[in-house]
Amino acid sequence: MKVGCESKKKSKHSLRVAIFGAGISGRAVVRRVNAIGGEATLFDGKAADAERDFKSDAVANFDLFVFSPGIPPRHPWRQLVSAEVAPERIFGEVGFALKDWPGRILGVTGTNGKTTVTLLLAALLQIHAMGRVASCGNIGKTCTEAMLETDNAGVDDWLVVELSSFQAMNCNGLLLDGLIWTNFAPDHLDYHQSETGYFAAKAGLACTLKDGAPLVTDAAVAERLETILPPQQRKKIMLETAVELDFGLADSPLLPEVFQRMPQRMNLVQVITLLRTIGFAPDPTVYAAELRSFQMPPHRLHPVLAVEGIRYWNDSKATNPHAALSAIGGFSEPICWLAGGRNKGMDLRTFAQDAEKQLPAGSLVIATGEAGLAFAEALSEHSVEAIYHADSFTVVGYAHAQSKAKGLEAVVFSPGFASFDAFCGYAERGKNFISQVLCLKESI
């Protein structure tokens, strides 16, 4: 069905847009098309208010085609449009929204840390920017919604856009003034079919950078990019590898504790590297004040509270090994690591081997949830002390007793697995962990 503007008779010059996917992104595009006087037709195989089918003879009815991130590359509609339509007429939601943005755009992508880096970049950028700074994309507010909400945007305004690999699949219309690629580890392989396909989706964002614009990343991603980027594209961008803080806060007591540890320390390094590269000189005093007031996104390695001298850290957002390994590797003292959940197809022996290298000596692992027993066994094979505790809803009390007995001063909840064995998502899992810690505090 055609959505919006039904009461108006369209002129032959009205922009006709086919929009695939009736989720948040697709419906935002419908509103955008209507706002600019176009005609939007929404396609979705399940939504009651959308056309259920799209066939080859319908292609000629539209000028542009916009795909929501949830429509995978192998979907018949994507394949049909790609086969019959010139690439410049095919958009993702992000590119369609931002092709008309008059200001500057900074992108953030990566397997882990995207949301934190996006918010941190926006916060520190606001110190320098002459105009407004807004964040959007995979962070929650679609780019289309940001466009609709930003009246009279000008050249001094900025957008900081979090970009998932799904959103990066079609970059047409997107033009970046800089990009942070936080890190890379295998993920979303059900969507991209392979690790190579997943990396290639993100690597396509390099083609959206303006000539001379910086791409800030870690050494592993930089090395891999060097091997796949065409020489001409490689010459057009500035590839920067973020290494360490060197602007007066590295060992300063002014730096909040959360940014003294990995992975948040590296997140800060990458943000400052990008800001410096695009011409903004960091002020340690001003930055320190902003960092002290910065609100970390929930469930991303932050301290909850201390109980009997044992500090509890919530990192429920760590739903894959890369995130969990980064978290536990940021501690120098022995810890009690709470891990486990639902396995998304990862090799547990490899995960255990990598964990043995990252865990501080003398640490204890308590594995729980659906994959807990198998992971505990894999860890034991690599000489890591690991205990299986079946119940995710009582694990904090058990961890507290074990930590007291062993003299451990930190319990780090960084599961490394999906949450769907016992929870609706990582947020519910994190709230449950916090609730257990608070109840523990009250009971002592």
Residue 244, pLDDT above cutoff 50: yes
Q: What is the pLDDT of residues 338-395, one digit of tens each?
A: 999 999 888 999 999 999 999 999 999 999 999 999 999 999 999 999 999 999 999 9
Give the phi and the psi of residue 117 in degrees, each rounded to 5.
-65, -40
Give the pTM: 0.84
Query: Which pLDDT score, from 0 to 100, does residue 193 have?
Result: 61
Long-range contacts of 250-257 (CB under 8 A, 24+ apart): 252/284, 252/288, 254/284, 254/285, 254/288, 254/292, 255/288, 255/291, 256/291, 256/292, 256/294, 257/303
Mean pLDDT of 7-19: 69
CA atoms within 13 A on the CB side of 184: 23
Query: Which pLDDT score, from 0 to 100, does residue 264 have?
Result: 87
Mean pLDDT of 293-313: 94
Which uninterrupted H or E stretch holds 364?
Answer: strand 364-368
Give the phi and the psi of residue 91 in degrees, each rounded to 5.
-130, 155
Share in percent of the chain as helix, strand, coil (round to 5): 40, 20, 40
Residue 277, pLDDT above cutoff 80: yes
Those residues whose C-beta lies under 8 Å from the C-beta of residue 213, and which sit 6 or more positions away, are 176, 177, 178, 179, 237, 238
Say if residue 130 is exposed, middle or buried (CB neighbours under 10 Å; 0-12, 13-18, 19+): exposed
Mean pLDDT of 424-437: 97
Residue 296, pLDDT above cutoff 60: yes
Nearest to 36 by CA among 97, 127, 122: 97
Q: What is the pLDDT of residues 160-191, one digit of tens each?
A: 999 988 888 888 999 999 999 999 986 665 55
Query: Which pLDDT score, from 0 to 100, does residue 7 have?
Result: 35
What residues pair up with 264 in beta bridges, in sequence order?
Answer: none
Say if residue 48 is exposed, middle or buried (CB neighbours under 10 Å; 0-12, 13-18, 19+): exposed
All structural domains of the chain, each given as residue ranges with its CATH number in brackets, are 2-85 (3.40.50.720), 95-293 (3.40.1190.10), 302-443 (3.90.190.20)
